[in-house]
Amino acid sequence: MATLNSAVARIDAEARQLDPAKVLLTILIAPLFLTGWLAGKAWLVLAWIWTAVLVGWREARAPRPLKAADDEQ
């Protein structure tokens, strides 16, 4: 129980040293940062998917050499 009390005392001491303006700013900015981060990841996924579709399309449409009649066995 002594370690729990010392941890609570340390938390209390550190909480009293926090600047309310910095805490409020962090709370206001965190959702904006998270939104931007998620948008960046979503864009990366969409760009990857689109590129995979284009590469597949080009591969499917690429000209293939014709087989000669004597190539078949």
3 domain-assigned: no
Residue-level pLDDT, tens digit, the chain, 73 residues = 678 889 999 999 999 999 999 999 999 999 999 999 999 999 999 999 999 999 999 999 988 887 776 655 5
Range of the domain at 31: 20-61
8 domain-assigned: no
Number of domains in the chain: 1
32 domain-assigned: yes
Q: Report the C-alpha gap between 48 and 56 in whole angstroms.
A: 12
Tokens 């009649």, residue?
69
Q: Report the C-alpha gap between 46 and 38 in whole angstroms.
A: 12
